[in-house]
Amino acid sequence: MFAEILRRLLATIPVMGVVAIAVFALLHVTPGDPAVIIAGDYATNDDIARIRARLGLDQPFHVQVGIWVSRIVRGDLGTSIFSGLPVSTLIGQRAATTIWLTLFAMLISVGVGVPVGVLAAWRKGSWVDRAVMVFAVSGFSMPTFWLGFILVYVFAINIGWLPVQGYQPMASGAWTFLRHLILPAVTLSVVYMALIARMTRASMLGVLDEDYVRTAFAKGLAPRNVLIRHALKNASLPVVTIIGIGFALLIGGAVVTESVFALPGLGRLTVDAIVRRDYPVIQGVLLVVSGVYVLINLVIDVLYVVLDPRIRY
């Protein structure tokens, strides 16, 4: 098993290599000099020359790639053009907000999506099933930021239960911290929840036809036990996969959600960097987020091997 895990771990290296090169190549996506674009419309020739030297754009392309990769390997993400601070420091300052937001959203999505999907599969064709399917397709089609504004309008502006926007760190008290995260987390969770509910239903439907499920029902086990212990356990692998793959969706949604609720997270950092064309920051965030995505999917692959001994790569 350890050889298996090691092999999966090594397989992530070429993937991250491609990510690193792609993120670097983004700078050269437009014809012309990237330094001119980054410097903006009001830059002097001196500004442009400074940016060009700072980003190493005066070197030949293959040298630039070499320098970039060797810097990443050493954990150096460069410095922000706008603030002059190291990119890793900026990301470190903002990461906590995004981690909490995505974590809560993930908990809500799995906590609601899985049971709802199980219920729909069990009562296939009933009004419960239809309601779940309607929720799944409309949740998946929902523009995240629009839903965020609707929730703000209803729960913050009209009823006044929750704050309109902003973020409070854990240090200012658990309830204050939670109150500020409820609306953003719910907003962010809907798309992901819809995806998980749909996947759970589909996967459960495949399993509920199996003989051992019929046997379990026939020997008089309580439906709850059959559904959870027998069926869900075997239907869980595709659901776990979609949780990993859907993480990209969650991160994308976090960028938009943070903008609606004015949360100081990685999404805001990225959007601010894009407005200022602060390219080292954009590249740094892309690298870190993609790395986390690859890591999460690696953990899920390893979980597979642990959960299901039949799986061998």
> 3: exposed, middle or buried (C-beta count within 10 Å: 0-12, 13-18, 19+)?
exposed
Sites for other proteins among residues 223-262 (CB under 8 A): 248-249, 251-252, 255-256, 259-260
Angle, CA of 249, 83 and 67, to the nearest 5°: 75
Is 103 a binder of other proteins (CB under 8 A)?
A: no
Binding mask 125-144 for other proteins (x = CB under 8 A): x-----------xx-xxxxx
Cα distance between residue 243 and residue 20, in whole Å: 24
Answer for the pair 109, 196: CB distance below 8 angstroms, yes or no. Answer: yes
Segment interacting with other proteins, rule: CB under 8 A, options 44-52, 68-76, 147-155, 230-238: 147-155
Among 53, 170, 274, 311, binds other proteins (CB under 8 A): 274
The helix-helix angle for 87-122 and 279-307 (nearest 10°) equals: 40
Cα distance between residue 250 and residue 270, in whole Å: 15
Nearer Cβ to other proteins (115/252): 252
Nearest to 199 by CA among 141, 144, 120, 127: 120
Segment interacting with other proteins, rule: CB under 8 A, options 71-79, 81-89, 232-240, 276-284: 276-284
Amino acid in position 31: P
Among 3, 159, 171, 275, binds other proteins (CB under 8 A): 275
Is 106 a binder of other proteins (CB under 8 A)?
A: no
Among 67, 95, 164, 240, binds other proteins (CB under 8 A): 164
Residue with tokens 């309109």: 164
The continuous run of DSSP H or E covering 11 comes out as: helix 2-25
Q: Strand, helix or coil at 81?
A: coil
Nearest approach, Cβ of residue 273 and other proteins (Å)? 8
Among 35, 263, 285, 300, binds other proteins (CB under 8 A): 285
Polymer length of the chain: 313
Nearer Cβ to other proteins (11/303): 11
Among 7, 30, 40, 214, binds other proteins (CB under 8 A): 30
Amino acid in position 217: F
Cα pseudo-dihedral 27, 30, 36, 42, rounded to 10: -120
In 136-186, DSSP assigns E strands to: none
Angle, CA of 284, 288 and 291, to the nearest 5°: 140
Among 90, 189, 270, 280, binds other proteins (CB under 8 A): 270
Among 3, 10, 14, 73, binds other proteins (CB under 8 A): 14
Cα distance between residue 291 and residue 158, in whole Å: 41
Among 43, 95, 240, 294, binds other proteins (CB under 8 A): 294
| DSSP label at residue 210 | S
Task: Tell me how many residues contact other proteins (CB under 8 A).
Answer: 54
Is 31 a binder of other proteins (CB under 8 A)?
A: no
Nearest approach, Cβ of residue 23 and other proteins (Å)? 7
Q: Strand, helix or coil at 160?
A: coil
Sites for other proteins among residues 36-75 (CB under 8 A): 37
Nearer Cβ to other proteins (37/96): 37
Among 286, 302, 305, 307, binds other proteins (CB under 8 A): 286
The contact set with other proteins (CB under 8 A) reads: 14-19, 21-23, 26-27, 29-30, 34, 37, 125, 137-138, 140-146, 149-150, 152-153, 157, 164, 248-249, 251-252, 255-256, 259-260, 270-271, 273-275, 277, 279, 282-283, 285-286, 289-290, 293-294
